[in-house]
Amino acid sequence: MYELLTGLSIIEASSFVASPTAGLYCAQLGAEVIRVDHKAGGLDYDRYMLTAEGRSLSWENLNRAKKSVALDLQSGEGRELLVALAASAGNLITNLPEQSFLSHGAVAEKCPDLVSVRIMGWHDGRQAMDFTVNAASGYPQMTGPEDWDAADPPPVNQVLPAWDFITGAYCAFALLAGIRHRDRTGEGKELRVPLGDVALGTMANSGAMAEMLYRGGNRERLGNAIWGAFGRDFRSRDGKRFMVAALTLKQWSGLVAAFGIAREIAALEAEIGVCFADGDTPRFANRERLFLLFQQAADELDWLELEARLTAQACTYERYRTMHEAATDPVLVADNPLFGPSPANPSGFSYPAPRSFANIPDEARGDPRPAPYLGEHTEQVLSEWLGLSSGQIAALVDRGIARLSDRGA
Protein backbone atom coordinates (compact mmCIF):
# COMPACT_ATOMS: atom_id res chain seq x y z
CA MET A 1 0.00 0.00 0.00
CA TYR A 2 1.26 3.42 -0.85
CA GLU A 3 1.47 5.90 2.00
CA LEU A 4 0.36 9.05 0.18
CA LEU A 5 -2.43 9.81 2.63
CA THR A 6 -0.68 8.75 5.81
CA GLY A 7 -1.72 10.88 8.74
CA LEU A 8 -5.23 11.35 7.45
CA SER A 9 -8.06 9.77 9.43
CA ILE A 10 -11.56 9.57 8.04
CA ILE A 11 -14.80 8.40 9.60
CA GLU A 12 -17.04 6.69 7.09
CA ALA A 13 -20.72 6.12 7.92
CA SER A 14 -21.77 4.36 4.78
CA SER A 15 -23.80 1.83 2.98
CA PHE A 16 -24.20 0.42 -0.53
CA VAL A 17 -21.63 1.39 -3.17
CA ALA A 18 -20.80 5.07 -3.71
CA SER A 19 -19.97 6.03 -0.15
CA PRO A 20 -17.90 2.91 0.69
CA THR A 21 -16.01 3.37 -2.58
CA ALA A 22 -14.90 6.86 -1.57
CA GLY A 23 -13.50 5.47 1.67
CA LEU A 24 -11.93 2.50 -0.10
CA TYR A 25 -9.89 4.68 -2.45
CA CYS A 26 -8.62 6.75 0.49
CA ALA A 27 -7.74 3.62 2.48
CA GLN A 28 -5.86 2.12 -0.46
CA LEU A 29 -3.63 5.20 -0.59
CA GLY A 30 -2.77 5.05 3.09
CA ALA A 31 -5.47 6.96 4.97
CA GLU A 32 -6.88 5.49 8.17
CA VAL A 33 -10.50 4.93 7.19
CA ILE A 34 -12.79 3.91 10.02
CA ARG A 35 -16.12 2.63 8.86
CA VAL A 36 -18.75 2.89 11.61
CA ASP A 37 -21.79 0.65 11.27
CA HIS A 38 -24.84 -0.30 13.18
CA LYS A 39 -23.94 -3.26 15.37
CA ALA A 40 -26.03 -5.66 13.29
CA GLY A 41 -24.36 -4.41 10.11
CA GLY A 42 -25.32 -1.59 7.77
CA LEU A 43 -27.91 -1.80 5.04
CA ASP A 44 -25.28 -3.36 2.76
CA TYR A 45 -24.02 -5.96 5.23
CA ASP A 46 -25.96 -8.72 3.42
CA ARG A 47 -25.54 -7.38 -0.09
CA TYR A 48 -25.24 -10.09 -2.75
CA MET A 49 -23.17 -12.16 -3.55
CA LEU A 50 -23.35 -14.07 -0.23
CA THR A 51 -21.16 -17.08 0.49
CA ALA A 52 -22.70 -20.27 1.85
CA GLU A 53 -21.87 -18.96 5.34
CA GLY A 54 -23.68 -15.71 4.60
CA ARG A 55 -20.66 -13.42 4.12
CA SER A 56 -21.15 -10.65 1.57
CA LEU A 57 -18.45 -10.66 -1.09
CA SER A 58 -19.63 -7.20 -2.04
CA TRP A 59 -19.09 -5.87 1.49
CA GLU A 60 -15.67 -7.42 1.90
CA ASN A 61 -14.40 -5.92 -1.33
CA LEU A 62 -15.81 -2.42 -0.89
CA ASN A 63 -14.44 -2.18 2.65
CA ARG A 64 -10.97 -3.52 2.13
CA ALA A 65 -8.15 -1.90 4.13
CA LYS A 66 -10.57 -0.09 6.45
CA LYS A 67 -11.13 -0.38 10.18
CA SER A 68 -14.58 -1.30 11.45
CA VAL A 69 -16.44 0.01 14.48
CA ALA A 70 -19.85 -1.42 15.38
CA LEU A 71 -22.23 0.59 17.57
CA ASP A 72 -25.92 0.56 18.34
CA LEU A 73 -26.84 3.40 16.00
CA GLN A 74 -30.48 3.15 16.99
CA SER A 75 -29.56 4.32 20.49
CA GLY A 76 -28.78 7.87 21.49
CA GLU A 77 -25.56 6.76 23.14
CA GLY A 78 -24.29 4.93 20.04
CA ARG A 79 -25.14 7.92 17.90
CA GLU A 80 -23.28 10.25 20.25
CA LEU A 81 -20.23 8.02 19.97
CA LEU A 82 -20.33 8.22 16.17
CA VAL A 83 -20.69 12.00 16.28
CA ALA A 84 -17.78 12.17 18.73
CA LEU A 85 -15.63 9.98 16.47
CA ALA A 86 -16.37 12.14 13.42
CA ALA A 87 -15.57 15.25 15.44
CA SER A 88 -12.30 13.75 16.65
CA ALA A 89 -11.17 12.69 13.19
CA GLY A 90 -12.37 15.92 11.59
CA ASN A 91 -13.12 14.18 8.29
CA LEU A 92 -16.36 12.45 7.42
CA ILE A 93 -17.74 10.55 4.43
CA THR A 94 -21.37 9.54 4.71
CA ASN A 95 -24.55 8.82 2.85
CA LEU A 96 -26.75 9.29 5.91
CA PRO A 97 -29.40 11.95 5.34
CA GLU A 98 -28.59 15.52 6.30
CA GLN A 99 -31.68 15.39 8.53
CA SER A 100 -30.20 12.49 10.50
CA PHE A 101 -28.29 12.65 13.79
CA LEU A 102 -25.09 12.84 11.72
CA SER A 103 -25.72 16.23 10.13
CA HIS A 104 -22.69 18.37 9.38
CA GLY A 105 -23.93 20.85 11.96
CA ALA A 106 -24.18 18.25 14.73
CA VAL A 107 -20.56 17.20 14.23
CA ALA A 108 -19.29 20.72 13.56
CA GLU A 109 -20.57 21.83 16.97
CA LYS A 110 -17.70 19.81 18.41
CA CYS A 111 -15.35 20.26 15.46
CA PRO A 112 -15.79 23.62 13.75
CA ASP A 113 -13.25 22.82 11.02
CA LEU A 114 -14.93 19.56 10.04
CA VAL A 115 -14.70 18.55 6.38
CA SER A 116 -17.63 16.33 5.46
CA VAL A 117 -18.73 14.83 2.17
CA ARG A 118 -22.33 13.71 2.03
CA ILE A 119 -23.72 11.61 -0.80
CA MET A 120 -27.36 12.35 -1.47
CA GLY A 121 -30.02 11.01 -3.84
CA TRP A 122 -31.47 13.83 -5.91
CA HIS A 123 -30.57 17.47 -5.36
CA ASP A 124 -34.05 18.20 -4.03
CA GLY A 125 -33.89 15.54 -1.35
CA ARG A 126 -35.79 12.79 -3.17
CA GLN A 127 -34.42 9.29 -2.74
CA ALA A 128 -32.38 7.85 -5.54
CA MET A 129 -30.14 4.92 -6.27
CA ASP A 130 -27.88 4.12 -9.19
CA PHE A 131 -30.70 2.25 -10.96
CA THR A 132 -33.14 5.11 -10.70
CA VAL A 133 -30.89 8.01 -11.66
CA ASN A 134 -29.82 5.88 -14.60
CA ALA A 135 -33.44 5.59 -15.72
CA ALA A 136 -33.74 9.39 -15.66
CA SER A 137 -30.47 9.99 -17.52
CA GLY A 138 -31.60 8.78 -20.92
CA TYR A 139 -28.74 6.30 -21.36
CA PRO A 140 -30.94 3.17 -21.10
CA GLN A 141 -32.98 4.39 -24.08
CA MET A 142 -29.81 4.62 -26.17
CA THR A 143 -28.39 1.27 -25.05
CA GLY A 144 -28.95 -2.09 -26.65
CA PRO A 145 -29.47 -3.65 -30.04
CA GLU A 146 -30.48 -1.12 -32.66
CA ASP A 147 -32.99 -3.45 -34.25
CA TRP A 148 -34.48 -4.83 -31.05
CA ASP A 149 -38.20 -4.18 -30.72
CA ALA A 150 -38.10 -1.03 -32.82
CA ALA A 151 -41.83 -0.47 -32.53
CA ASP A 152 -41.61 0.10 -28.78
CA PRO A 153 -37.93 0.33 -27.87
CA PRO A 154 -37.53 -0.67 -24.24
CA PRO A 155 -34.82 0.66 -21.95
CA VAL A 156 -31.67 -1.40 -21.42
CA ASN A 157 -30.05 -0.83 -18.03
CA GLN A 158 -26.28 -0.93 -17.75
CA VAL A 159 -25.28 -3.63 -15.28
CA LEU A 160 -22.26 -1.76 -13.97
CA PRO A 161 -23.46 0.66 -11.26
CA ALA A 162 -21.51 3.36 -13.04
CA TRP A 163 -23.11 6.33 -11.28
CA ASP A 164 -22.19 4.87 -7.91
CA PHE A 165 -18.58 4.37 -8.90
CA ILE A 166 -18.20 7.79 -10.51
CA THR A 167 -19.77 9.33 -7.40
CA GLY A 168 -17.45 7.36 -5.12
CA ALA A 169 -14.32 8.52 -6.93
CA TYR A 170 -15.61 12.10 -7.14
CA CYS A 171 -16.35 12.14 -3.40
CA ALA A 172 -12.83 10.96 -2.58
CA PHE A 173 -11.61 13.88 -4.72
CA ALA A 174 -14.04 16.34 -3.12
CA LEU A 175 -12.93 15.27 0.36
CA LEU A 176 -9.27 15.95 -0.46
CA ALA A 177 -10.23 19.28 -2.03
CA GLY A 178 -12.04 20.26 1.18
CA ILE A 179 -9.12 19.12 3.31
CA ARG A 180 -6.67 21.07 1.16
CA HIS A 181 -8.81 24.15 1.64
CA ARG A 182 -8.83 23.64 5.41
CA ASP A 183 -5.06 23.11 5.45
CA ARG A 184 -4.66 26.51 3.80
CA THR A 185 -7.37 28.50 5.56
CA GLY A 186 -8.31 26.64 8.74
CA GLU A 187 -11.90 26.56 7.55
CA GLY A 188 -14.11 23.45 7.47
CA LYS A 189 -16.62 22.69 4.73
CA GLU A 190 -19.67 20.60 4.05
CA LEU A 191 -19.70 19.19 0.52
CA ARG A 192 -22.86 17.55 -0.74
CA VAL A 193 -22.79 15.36 -3.81
CA PRO A 194 -26.17 14.20 -5.15
CA LEU A 195 -26.00 10.97 -7.12
CA GLY A 196 -28.57 12.42 -9.51
CA ASP A 197 -26.37 15.44 -10.17
CA VAL A 198 -23.44 13.18 -10.96
CA ALA A 199 -25.59 11.45 -13.58
CA LEU A 200 -27.00 14.60 -15.16
CA GLY A 201 -23.74 16.48 -14.80
CA THR A 202 -21.80 13.68 -16.47
CA MET A 203 -24.29 13.58 -19.30
CA ALA A 204 -23.77 17.34 -19.65
CA ASN A 205 -19.97 17.20 -19.29
CA SER A 206 -19.76 14.57 -22.02
CA GLY A 207 -21.46 17.01 -24.38
CA ALA A 208 -24.52 14.79 -24.72
CA MET A 209 -26.92 17.29 -23.13
CA ALA A 210 -25.78 20.04 -25.48
CA GLU A 211 -26.07 17.54 -28.30
CA MET A 212 -29.71 16.71 -27.53
CA LEU A 213 -30.62 20.39 -27.27
CA TYR A 214 -28.73 21.19 -30.47
CA ARG A 215 -30.43 18.35 -32.34
CA GLY A 216 -33.77 19.14 -30.76
CA GLY A 217 -34.28 15.43 -30.33
CA ASN A 218 -32.69 12.14 -29.44
CA ARG A 219 -29.64 10.42 -30.80
CA GLU A 220 -30.42 7.21 -32.65
CA ARG A 221 -29.81 3.87 -30.95
CA LEU A 222 -26.58 2.45 -32.37
CA GLY A 223 -26.25 -1.00 -30.86
CA ASN A 224 -22.58 -1.67 -30.18
CA ALA A 225 -21.33 0.89 -32.68
CA ILE A 226 -19.38 3.84 -31.31
CA TRP A 227 -21.24 7.04 -31.86
CA GLY A 228 -19.42 9.59 -33.99
CA ALA A 229 -16.41 7.45 -34.80
CA PHE A 230 -15.51 4.09 -36.30
CA GLY A 231 -15.92 1.11 -34.03
CA ARG A 232 -18.13 -1.86 -33.38
CA ASP A 233 -18.06 -5.49 -32.36
CA PHE A 234 -17.23 -8.09 -35.01
CA ARG A 235 -17.10 -11.86 -35.05
CA SER A 236 -14.28 -14.05 -36.27
CA ARG A 237 -14.79 -17.13 -38.41
CA ASP A 238 -14.60 -19.31 -35.30
CA GLY A 239 -17.22 -17.22 -33.52
CA LYS A 240 -15.12 -15.06 -31.20
CA ARG A 241 -16.59 -11.62 -30.69
CA PHE A 242 -14.32 -8.61 -30.36
CA MET A 243 -14.50 -4.85 -30.25
CA VAL A 244 -12.39 -2.53 -32.39
CA ALA A 245 -12.11 1.25 -32.25
CA ALA A 246 -10.50 3.78 -34.57
CA LEU A 247 -10.70 7.40 -33.49
CA THR A 248 -7.30 8.43 -34.84
CA LEU A 249 -5.69 8.06 -38.25
CA LYS A 250 -3.13 5.65 -36.83
CA GLN A 251 -5.88 3.48 -35.36
CA TRP A 252 -7.76 3.53 -38.67
CA SER A 253 -4.78 2.65 -40.84
CA GLY A 254 -3.85 -0.13 -38.45
CA LEU A 255 -7.31 -1.66 -38.63
CA VAL A 256 -7.45 -1.57 -42.42
CA ALA A 257 -4.06 -3.28 -42.58
CA ALA A 258 -4.93 -5.87 -39.93
CA PHE A 259 -8.15 -6.83 -41.69
CA GLY A 260 -6.33 -6.85 -45.03
CA ILE A 261 -8.98 -4.78 -46.78
CA ALA A 262 -7.01 -1.87 -48.21
CA ARG A 263 -8.22 -2.66 -51.73
CA GLU A 264 -11.87 -2.93 -50.72
CA ILE A 265 -11.64 0.32 -48.77
CA ALA A 266 -10.07 2.10 -51.72
CA ALA A 267 -12.83 0.81 -54.00
CA LEU A 268 -15.49 2.04 -51.59
CA GLU A 269 -13.78 5.43 -51.35
CA ALA A 270 -13.79 5.69 -55.14
CA GLU A 271 -17.42 4.60 -55.32
CA ILE A 272 -18.82 7.12 -52.82
CA GLY A 273 -16.20 9.82 -53.24
CA VAL A 274 -14.79 10.13 -49.72
CA CYS A 275 -11.43 9.60 -48.06
CA PHE A 276 -11.79 7.60 -44.85
CA ALA A 277 -8.44 8.83 -43.57
CA ASP A 278 -9.94 12.33 -43.34
CA GLY A 279 -11.42 11.82 -39.89
CA ASP A 280 -14.37 10.54 -37.92
CA THR A 281 -17.03 12.04 -40.17
CA PRO A 282 -16.60 9.96 -43.36
CA ARG A 283 -15.99 6.82 -41.31
CA PHE A 284 -19.03 7.36 -39.13
CA ALA A 285 -21.34 8.52 -41.91
CA ASN A 286 -20.56 5.42 -43.99
CA ARG A 287 -20.30 3.02 -41.12
CA GLU A 288 -22.81 0.50 -42.44
CA ARG A 289 -20.82 -0.06 -45.62
CA LEU A 290 -17.59 -0.23 -43.63
CA PHE A 291 -19.00 -2.64 -41.06
CA LEU A 292 -19.94 -4.94 -43.91
CA LEU A 293 -16.41 -4.96 -45.32
CA PHE A 294 -14.85 -5.56 -41.92
CA GLN A 295 -17.25 -8.36 -41.04
CA GLN A 296 -16.69 -10.02 -44.42
CA ALA A 297 -12.97 -10.03 -43.74
CA ALA A 298 -13.50 -11.36 -40.21
CA ASP A 299 -15.67 -14.13 -41.62
CA GLU A 300 -12.57 -15.50 -43.35
CA LEU A 301 -10.25 -15.49 -40.36
CA ASP A 302 -10.06 -17.38 -37.09
CA TRP A 303 -9.50 -15.37 -33.94
CA LEU A 304 -5.89 -16.39 -33.38
CA GLU A 305 -4.94 -15.15 -36.82
CA LEU A 306 -6.96 -11.98 -36.43
CA GLU A 307 -5.51 -11.30 -33.00
CA ALA A 308 -1.98 -11.71 -34.30
CA ARG A 309 -2.70 -9.19 -37.05
CA LEU A 310 -4.39 -6.70 -34.72
CA THR A 311 -1.46 -6.96 -32.34
CA ALA A 312 1.09 -6.55 -35.12
CA GLN A 313 -0.63 -3.33 -36.20
CA ALA A 314 -0.92 -2.08 -32.58
CA CYS A 315 -4.67 -1.75 -33.06
CA THR A 316 -7.05 -0.79 -30.30
CA TYR A 317 -9.17 -3.91 -29.91
CA GLU A 318 -10.28 -6.38 -27.31
CA ARG A 319 -11.95 -9.75 -27.33
CA TYR A 320 -15.19 -9.92 -25.38
CA ARG A 321 -14.89 -12.08 -22.33
CA THR A 322 -17.51 -13.30 -19.97
CA MET A 323 -16.84 -11.99 -16.48
CA HIS A 324 -15.71 -15.42 -15.34
CA GLU A 325 -13.25 -15.50 -18.22
CA ALA A 326 -12.02 -12.05 -17.26
CA ALA A 327 -11.61 -13.06 -13.62
CA THR A 328 -9.51 -16.08 -14.60
CA ASP A 329 -7.55 -14.49 -17.47
CA PRO A 330 -3.84 -14.49 -16.57
CA VAL A 331 -3.11 -11.38 -18.62
CA LEU A 332 -5.85 -9.43 -16.87
CA VAL A 333 -5.47 -10.74 -13.33
CA ALA A 334 -2.73 -13.20 -12.36
CA ASP A 335 0.01 -11.40 -14.30
CA ASN A 336 -1.36 -7.94 -13.57
CA PRO A 337 0.42 -6.10 -10.73
CA LEU A 338 -2.92 -4.49 -9.85
CA PHE A 339 -3.77 -7.72 -8.10
CA GLY A 340 -2.00 -9.16 -5.10
CA PRO A 341 -2.21 -12.34 -3.07
CA SER A 342 -5.43 -13.09 -1.28
CA PRO A 343 -5.55 -11.48 2.14
CA ALA A 344 -7.35 -13.13 5.07
CA ASN A 345 -10.84 -12.23 3.90
CA PRO A 346 -13.66 -12.39 6.46
CA SER A 347 -15.43 -14.80 4.10
CA GLY A 348 -12.58 -17.26 4.34
CA PHE A 349 -12.65 -17.43 0.54
CA SER A 350 -9.30 -16.81 -1.15
CA TYR A 351 -8.96 -14.84 -4.38
CA PRO A 352 -6.72 -12.18 -5.93
CA ALA A 353 -7.45 -8.78 -4.41
CA PRO A 354 -6.94 -5.43 -6.14
CA ARG A 355 -4.61 -2.71 -4.98
CA SER A 356 -5.16 0.99 -5.70
CA PHE A 357 -5.83 1.83 -9.35
CA ALA A 358 -2.90 4.25 -9.21
CA ASN A 359 0.57 2.77 -9.29
CA ILE A 360 3.88 4.49 -8.63
CA PRO A 361 6.76 3.23 -10.79
CA ASP A 362 9.65 1.74 -8.83
CA GLU A 363 7.83 1.88 -5.53
CA ALA A 364 6.77 -1.32 -3.75
CA ARG A 365 3.00 -1.69 -3.92
CA GLY A 366 2.64 -3.89 -0.87
CA ASP A 367 0.02 -6.56 -0.51
CA PRO A 368 -3.72 -5.87 -0.58
CA ARG A 369 -5.27 -5.74 2.87
CA PRO A 370 -8.42 -7.55 3.91
CA ALA A 371 -11.71 -6.03 4.90
CA PRO A 372 -12.25 -6.00 8.65
CA TYR A 373 -14.71 -8.12 10.54
CA LEU A 374 -17.64 -5.99 11.59
CA GLY A 375 -16.57 -4.29 14.82
CA GLU A 376 -13.03 -5.65 14.68
CA HIS A 377 -11.59 -2.26 15.61
CA THR A 378 -14.32 -1.04 17.97
CA GLU A 379 -12.12 -1.36 21.03
CA GLN A 380 -8.99 0.07 19.45
CA VAL A 381 -10.78 3.06 17.93
CA LEU A 382 -12.87 3.94 21.00
CA SER A 383 -9.71 3.81 23.06
CA GLU A 384 -7.42 5.72 20.69
CA TRP A 385 -9.86 8.32 19.45
CA LEU A 386 -12.16 8.87 22.42
CA GLY A 387 -9.80 7.85 25.22
CA LEU A 388 -12.21 5.31 26.64
CA SER A 389 -10.77 2.83 29.13
CA SER A 390 -11.06 -0.95 28.77
CA GLY A 391 -13.63 -0.86 31.56
CA GLN A 392 -15.71 1.79 29.84
CA ILE A 393 -15.60 -0.11 26.55
CA ALA A 394 -16.51 -3.38 28.28
CA ALA A 395 -19.51 -1.64 29.83
CA LEU A 396 -20.61 -0.35 26.40
CA VAL A 397 -20.34 -3.87 25.04
CA ASP A 398 -22.26 -5.31 28.00
CA ARG A 399 -25.07 -2.84 27.46
CA GLY A 400 -25.20 -3.58 23.75
CA ILE A 401 -24.02 -0.10 22.71
CA ALA A 402 -20.82 -1.41 21.14
CA ARG A 403 -19.92 -4.72 19.53
CA LEU A 404 -16.43 -6.13 19.26
CA SER A 405 -16.42 -8.42 16.21
CA ASP A 406 -18.69 -10.55 14.10
CA ARG A 407 -15.94 -13.11 13.62
CA GLY A 408 -17.49 -16.54 13.90
CA ALA A 409 -20.94 -14.98 14.23
Reduced to 3 states, what is the DSSP secondary structure of residue 316?
Answer: strand
Q: Is 74 a residue that touches a copy of itself (CB under 8 A)?
A: no
Reduced to 3 states, what is the DSSP secondary structure of residue 358?
Answer: coil
Q: Is 1 a residue that touches a copy of itself (CB under 8 A)?
A: no
Smallest gap, in angstroms, from Cβ of residue 46 to a copy of itself? 6
Site string for a copy of itself, 183-202 (x = CB under 8 A): xx----xxxxxx-xxx-xxx
Q: Is 172 a residue that touches a copy of itself (CB under 8 A)?
A: yes
Q: Is 352 a residue that touches a copy of itself (CB under 8 A)?
A: yes
Name the amino acid, one letter, at 54: G
Smallest gap, in angstroms, from Cβ of residue 190 to a copy of itself? 6
Q: β-strand 9-13 against 32-38: which pairing, if any?
A: parallel
Distance CA 72, CA 86 (A): 16
Furthest-apart CA pair in the chain: how many Å? 87
Among 88, 106, 268, 354, which residue sits at the site for a copy of itself (rule: CB under 8 A)?
354
List the end-to-end C-alpha distance of the chain, in Å, as a whole number. Answer: 29
Helices (H), 109-248: 130-137, 139-142, 162-185, 195-205, 208-215
Among 14, 21, 91, 236, which residue sits at the site for a copy of itself (rule: CB under 8 A)?
21
Please tell me the count of residues contacting a copy of itself according to CB under 8 A.
162
Smallest gap, in angstroms, from Cβ of residue 19 to a copy of itself? 13
Q: Which stretch binds a copy of itself (CB under 8 A): 241-249, 258-266, 269-277, 299-307?
A: 241-249
Q: Is the dihedral of CA 378, 380, 386, 389 positive or negative?
A: positive
Q: What angle do CA 171, 338, 352 make, to 5 degrees?
A: 105
Among 1, 10, 27, 29, which residue sits at the site for a copy of itself (rule: CB under 8 A)?
29
Catalytic residue among 72, 130, 164, 197: 164
Q: Which stretch binds a copy of itself (CB under 8 A): 59-67, 71-79, 385-393, 401-409?
A: 59-67
Distance CA 302, CA 323 (A): 22
- Residues 119-148 interacting with a copy of itself (rule: CB under 8 A): 121, 123-124, 127-129, 131-145, 148
Q: Which residues, including other chains, have CB under 8 Å from residue 62's CB and lie 6 or more apart?
A: 17, 20, 21, 24, 44, 371
Q: Which residues, including other chains, have CB under 8 Å from residue 81's CB and lie 6 or more apart?
A: 71, 382, 386, 396, 401, 402
Among 266, 267, 277, 326, which residue sits at the site for a copy of itself (rule: CB under 8 A)?
326
- Residues 221-240 interacting with a copy of itself (rule: CB under 8 A): 222-224, 226-229, 231, 233, 239
In the annotation, is 164 catalytic?
yes
Q: Which is nearer to a copy of itself, 145 or 400 (CB)?
A: 145
Distance CA 59, CA 80 (A): 25
Q: Is 367 a residue that touches a copy of itself (CB under 8 A)?
A: no
The closest alpha carbon to 69, from 348, 386, 369, belongs to: 386
Q: Which stretch binds a copy of itself (CB under 8 A): 33-41, 179-187, 296-304, 393-401?
A: 179-187
Q: Is 373 a residue that touches a copy of itself (CB under 8 A)?
A: no
276, with CB counted inside 10 A (0-12, 13-18, 19+), is buried
Q: Is 83 a residue that touches a copy of itself (CB under 8 A)?
A: no
Beta bridge partners of 115: 91, 189
Q: Is 112 a residue that touches a copy of itself (CB under 8 A)?
A: no
Distance CA 74, CA 229 (A): 54
Among 109, 238, 305, 325, which residue sits at the site for a copy of itself (rule: CB under 8 A)?
325
- Residues 380-399 interacting with a copy of itself (rule: CB under 8 A): none
Q: Is 97 a residue that touches a copy of itself (CB under 8 A)?
A: no
Distance CA 36, CA 13 (A): 5
Smallest gap, in angstroms, from Cβ of residue 79 to a copy of itself? 19
Site string for a copy of itself, 268-297 (x = CB under 8 A): -----------xxx--x-------------
CB 224 within 8 A of CB 243: yes
Catalytic residues: 164
